[in-house]
Every structure is written in C-alpha cells, then in structure tokens.
Structure 1
Amino acid sequence: MINDDERIALFLDYENLAIGARDGLGVAPFDFGPVADALAERGRVVARRAYADWSAFDEDRRLLARAQVELIEIPQRVGGSRKNAADIKMAVDAIELAFARGFITTFAIGTGDSDFTPLVHKLRELDKRVIGIGVQSSTSALLPPACDEFLFYDRLPGVEPGQPTRRGRTRARPQAVPIEQPTEQPTEQPTEQPTEEAAQADDGDAAQLITRTLAGLQRHADGPVLASRLKRAVLRKDPTFDEAELGFRGFGELLRHLEGEHVLQLSPGSAQGDPEVGFPEDGSEVDDAFALLVDVVRQLQALGSPPQLSGLKDQLRKRRPGFSEKRYGFNTFLSFAKAARARNLITMRWDAAANEYLLHVPD
C-alpha cells in the first residue's frame, strides 16, 4: 500500500516552550498533547526529541516520557546564565538526522528563539519542509516567516490558557476529585444501564475524535479527505482506536453510521471503497447549534449585561445535555463562537478589564 503521509521529526527547545507557556499562558506543566495532535493530522511522527536541563522540569519529564518523547539532557553550567544551552546540540542533531534519514520529509521545530532561523534555512535548503511551533508571546518575529508553516501553541485545539504564572512559582497539576459514594441506600439500578451509557459515551467520543481530526485535515489538505487518510490520522492520535469496540465491522461502516446521524457526509472517492469524507453541506445540524447559541446569549443579555464567553458552553449544555462543538467540526468553543460571528448571528467584543470576550445578539 502506497503511503504518502509526511514523515516528521520533532525537535523541542523545551525550556523556551515551557517557560513561554507558563509566563504567557499560565499553562504549567507544558501540555504536549495539542502539539502531538496537530502533528498527527499532518503526518507520521518518526522521531520525538526534547532538549532541556531536566532537573528544572521534573513533572514535565514524566509527562513527556509517557508521550514517547526522547529526553536529551543539557545541564546548565554552574554560575552561568539561564541562556538555553540546548541550541547548538539541537541544531547539530537535526542536521545529522536530515542526512542520515533521507526518508524524513518534514522537521517540526518547537521554539520561539530566532537563533534557530539559520537551522530552518538550512533544512529548507536540504529540501525538507519545516513546521515551527511556538508560544505567540515569546516567539521572535523573525522565526515564523522562515518556516513553511508555523503553529502558535496558543491557537492549537485543546490549549486552555489560565492565569499567567509568576517566575519562580509552579502551578500544581489539577488532581481528579474522588466522588463520594452514598452509603445509606444501596444502588438498585440494573447492571445493563451503566453498560449502555458507557457504550453511548464511547460512540460520542469516537464521533468527536473523527470530526475533530477531519476538521484539522480539511484546514491544511490540498484536496479532498479520503476515508483511508482519515483513519490513519485518527490512529496517529489514538493508537488504541478500534471501531470493532463500538460495534462496527469496519471503519467504513462507522462512517456510514455517522453519515446517518448527519455528522458526516460521504461521496465517491478516486478508489472504490475509499470515499471522500466531509461535513454535511446542508448545514441543518450546525444551524440548529447556532440557533441554540443565539437563543442562550439573547436570554442572558436580557438579564442586564452581555454574557462572557467563559461559562457559556455550560449554559448551552443546560439546555442541551451533551452539547459539543466538536460534533460540528469545530475544535474549540471559541472557534464555534467566531463562526457564529462570521455569519452575523452574534457580535464579540474583547473586554480587557475582564480579559474575556463579551457576546451580544444584535437587534
């Protein structure tokens, strides 16, 4: 089988990314998941390396190891400045890999440091595509124009900015809060009920994974998205994905089921059994979701002030339990709201004092 997916080597100037995300976005420890998902939509990552003095990133080190990232130790010199010492080592390793592994088509360089601009130029001279990744507030203006594509970490689906963290302080990773079980009255629900609810949840999770992946592929694809390409991208995001666990005999049957639910739309592809996958053109489902958003915003603004974007999704879920913008191909609720604004259904105004968007339904 011919596989034309990009083969990507990922190099992370980790200190630059982690400190930029902590100070600029309030994200600590650095969440590698959105980066992995974005690259999975673009191709197959064959090498993952992160460079840092890991004594300063103890929790990050454990999280990256679980994500199968190779950790390259770059100790800081005693008494020296905090200038990142990973630059030269990372550049040398990237050039060495470019010559030693000719099958690698793309290099993803995670940094905001302009010192890596010569590396980007050299990789492009070697006919390699270069994807840059950086935090917007800490990325030099010289770096993005040098790359074939640049991904601002702030804009990646799944990144949830918090409050910027002061230097020298760390933010504790949120822990799951155990739910207390009732002790006075025994539960008498039949065992079939939790199983059915779990199956429905799995089905919904699969639909969100597929629609989110499809939306990502459509944003940067040169042509139609075929089912085979969609399946490969889904597996790169979640290698444990198996449509058989959801009760479907094949991926095509799952796609036809989602088409019947008006989540996707299939059309004949270039090869038999490999249809093109897209979102429904009639837009009836997404129009209904936009109508819900407008109705909720109108009701909240009638109380006296325009509602904020944060917390608005919970208000929609009170009206429609299980609501998710991912079902309609939007990776974040912000992008869903912006789509409604583009259709002139709502207006959005940035409130600097509240550090939040305020929404309003025009008269």
Structure 2
Amino acid sequence: MPTDSEARVAVYIDFDNILISRYDQIHGRGAFHADKVRTLPADGRESKARTRFSQATVDLGAIIDYASSYGSIVLSRAYADWSVPAHAAYRDQLLARAVDLVQMFPTTRSLKNGADIRLSIDVVEDLFRLDNITHVVVVAGDSDYIALAQRTKRLGRYMVGIGVAGSTSKSLAAACDEFADYDALPGIEPVQIDEPEPEVDAPAPTKAEAKRIAAEAEEAAATEAEAAKAPARRRRRATSESVAAAQDEVAMTPAQRGDASTGLLERAMRILHQKTDDEWLHANVVKEQMKRMDPVFNEKSIGHKSFSDFVTARDALVELREEGQARLLRLKGE
C-alpha cells in the first residue's frame, strides 16, 4: 500500500446500498423492504420498524475515520435520495464530517435511483480532473462497481472498498487493492438484538376509569388551548430560551473535551494497529491520524504543553517508550 505522506483520498458512499445492507444483515435478507423503512415517518413516533431501524444504525464516522488512515481526505460524497426520512436521519452526521450530499431522485417504480452509475461517472471524472488523488475509497458492496474498481487501478490509483458482510460481491472484493469489512472497522461494536416480549392486552377499563380518562383528556385539551392564546412575543421568548438551553447542553466542559480526546487517541491507534504489523507506533504518526479524524484536536486547548505530555497523562491507556529522539506508543493490553 502506498505510504506517501502526501497521499490524497477521495471517498464515495453509495448510501442506499450500505444502509439496506446493514439493515438486512441485522434483521434478515429482505427485511428493509418488508419493514417499509424507506417510508418510515419522520415524526419520531415509536414503532417496531423504528426500533429495528435504530438497531441497524450505520456508524459513518467510523467509515470516514478509517478512510482517513490512507491520507488526507480531499473529497467525500454520499449518494442517496435525501428526501427519504430514513436517509435524512443521517444528514447531520454526514454534514458534520464535511461530506457532500448528492441528491438522487428515484427514476423507476422500483425506486432505483441510479446511484451506482452516477457514482462511477463521478469517480472516473474526478480521477482525470484531479491528478493528485492517490486513493479511492468506495463504500458499497454491489458487483456493479467491479468495472469501476478495475478502471481505478488501471489509472494508477489505490482502490479500497468497504462493505457489509453478507451483502458484498466476492468479485468486487477481488477487484479492489484492499477490501474492508464494515464490522471489522475499529469502533464498530457488535450489535445485540433484544427481541421485545409480546405485549399482553390490557383489560378493558371500568366505567369509572373511562370517565376519569375522558376528564383528563378534556383538561389536557383545555390547557393546550390556553397555551395557544399566549402572546406571540412570549412564545418566541420561550423558544429562544429552549434553544439556548440546548446549546448549553451541547457545549463541552474541559473534562468532557479531555474524555473526547482520549477516545480519539484510542480510535486512532486502533486504526493504525489494524493497518500495520508494528507493535509500536511513532507518536507523530498517531497525532497526524488524530488530526485527520478531528482537525479541531489540539492538546494545548485541553491543558497540555505537548503531545507527549498529553499521552503521558493517559498512561492507563497508552504506553510510551523513547528511542533516542523518537517517541513510540502502543495501547496497553494489545
């Protein structure tokens, strides 16, 4: 695998493919369409399909982190119909990682959106237009991408595929320079599915209980009507206060930033350990990987004078060894 420090990575995600593959892997072949997940309402109402959907969540952050281990990500796109609620649920996660969302409207009754063709055309066009791209990462397992993998290698780029076990074409894996199983990526935890116990029908309410329930419903309706009469200024003030409260909850304390940095260090080292046979990693390589995964990371912002000081403060997680001017790291217990 090329190890040029100037490596440039382009990431392309067939989102519909990876989402369906993950859902069917967890719940059985054909479950995505059988559960009608594509038309899942966006109002947040609890249902069996919504619970199963949350159990089959795709960790796109882990995918992007893994792709960054090949070099600096200079281009990343995800292809899907983003008007679909099941897809829209991932928009914030993708935008937070600077992934461009390419809108693909379905063109047939089968809801086929042609993402594989559009993605392949974009890859080939980008490789001719941007000659500094060294690695191409395609997140999909469809055999339709075999020709793309072959052409990418023919153009002198390193082709990496990422797919879900059980939904990946063996021929596609063979056509790539390297193919990674989504479940084997660092940070992906095995999913434990707890099947809910069958619900027991509640006994019919007595006349007294029915009368009480009706009275409570009338009282709740009256309260809502009274709230609706409140002045618009008062409602706007309440909304502003709730938004400010939400922002305060999102803001991280110094301790929380330290914990987040510790997690970032561990994920970066697990990715590097997985990609190399070296037991010890150079500290500068680890820091570079951390910066690729989170450009905001800065050890000085969390109270450390240097990266070595940052690592030393996490001696329960990482072991530090010095060899001359070099500082080497490894995860304890590995």
Coarse TM-score class (shorter-chain normalised): 0.5 to 0.7
Conserved 8 A contact 1:265-1:279: no
Secondary structure, counterpart of 1:87 in structure 2:
helix
Partners in 2 of 1:101 and 1:115 — Cα distance?
24
CA drift at 1:205: 4.1
1:89 and 2:145 are equivalent in the alignment = no
Give the aligned partner of residue 74 of structure 1. Answer: 104
Partners in 2 of 1:49 and 1:233 — Cα distance?
21
Conserved 8 A contact 1:29-1:60: no
Partners in 1 of 2:183 and 2:296 — Cα distance?
27
- CA distance change for structure 1 residues 267 and 245 in 2, over 3 Å: closer, same or farther? same
CA drift at 1:75: 1.2
- CA distance change for structure 1 residues 262 and 9 in 2, over 3 Å: closer, same or farther? closer
Secondary structure, counterpart of 1:68 in structure 2:
coil
> What one-letter code is carried by the residue in structure 1 that aligns with 2:310?
L
- CA distance change for structure 1 residues 262 and 13 in 2, over 3 Å: closer, same or farther? closer
CA drift at 1:267: 2.8
Give the aligned partner of residue 23 of structure 2. Answer: 22
Give the aligned partner of residue 149 of structure 2. Answer: 120
> What one-letter code is carried by the residue in structure 2 that aligns with 1:212?
R
CA drift at 1:162: 5.2
> What one-letter code is carried by the residue in structure 1 that aligns with 2:330?
G
* TM-score, length basis structure 2: 0.65
* Number of matched pairs: 244
Give the aligned partner of residue 13 of structure 1. Answer: 14
Conserved 8 A contact 1:24-1:164: no
1:264 and 2:309 are equivalent in the alignment = no
Partners in 1 of 2:329 and 2:70 — Cα distance?
17
**Equivalent residue in structure 2 for 1:253, among 275, 289, 309:** 309
Runs of 4+ more than 6 Å apart: none
- Show the 5 A alignment for 1:73-222: 73-77=103-107, 79-160=108-189, 161=191, 163=193, 202-221=257-276
1:64 and 2:64 are equivalent in the alignment = no
- CA distance change for structure 1 residues 115 and 30 in 2, over 3 Å: closer, same or farther? same
Give the aligned partner of residue 33 of structure 1. Answer: 61
- 1:79-102 alpha-carbon deviations (Å, 9 max, x no partner): 532334111111111011111111
Secondary structure, counterpart of 2:295 in structure 1:
coil
Partners in 2 of 1:20 and 1:5 — Cα distance?
33
Conserved 8 A contact 1:5-1:42: no
- CA distance change for structure 1 residues 73 and 200 in 2, over 3 Å: closer, same or farther? closer
Conserved 8 A contact 2:76-2:100: yes
**Equivalent residue in structure 1 for 2:71, among 43, 49, 55:** 43
Conserved 8 A contact 1:12-1:50: yes
Percent pairwise identity: 31
Conserved 8 A contact 1:23-1:164: no
- 1:259-314 alpha-carbon deviations (Å, 9 max, x no partner): 5x572222326xx4x4232346xxxxx3xxxxxxxxxxxxxxxxxxxxxxxxxxxx
Secondary structure, counterpart of 2:83 in structure 1:
helix
Give the aligned partner of residue 327 of structure 2. Answer: 275
Q: Which moved more, 1:105-114 or 1:47-56?
A: 47-56
CA drift at 1:118: 0.7
CA drift at 1:54: 2.0
Partners in 2 of 1:164 and 1:105 — Cα distance?
43
Partners in 2 of 1:124 and 1:153 — Cα distance?
22
Partners in 2 of 1:32 and 1:127 — Cα distance?
27
> What one-letter code is carried by the residue in structure 2 that aligns with 1:219?
Q
Partners in 2 of 1:206 and 1:62 — Cα distance?
21
Partners in 2 of 1:96 and 1:128 — Cα distance?
13
| RMSD, aligned CA | 2.8
CA drift at 1:117: 0.5
- CA distance change for structure 1 residues 257 and 31 in 2, over 3 Å: closer, same or farther? closer
> What one-letter code is carried by the residue in structure 2 that aligns with 1:139?
T
Conserved 8 A contact 2:10-2:73: yes
Conserved 8 A contact 1:42-1:217: no
- 1:101-131 alpha-carbon deviations (Å, 9 max, x no partner): 1111100001110010010011011111111
Conserved 8 A contact 2:186-2:267: no
CA drift at 1:254: 2.0
Secondary structure, counterpart of 1:63 in structure 2:
helix
Give the aligned partner of residue 39 of structure 2. Answer: none
CA drift at 1:5: 4.8
Partners in 1 of 2:25 and 2:13 — Cα distance?
18
CA drift at 1:14: 1.1
CA drift at 1:222: 6.5
Q: 5+ unaligned residues in a row in structure 2: which ranges? A: 27-51, 196-252
Conserved 8 A contact 2:70-2:135: no
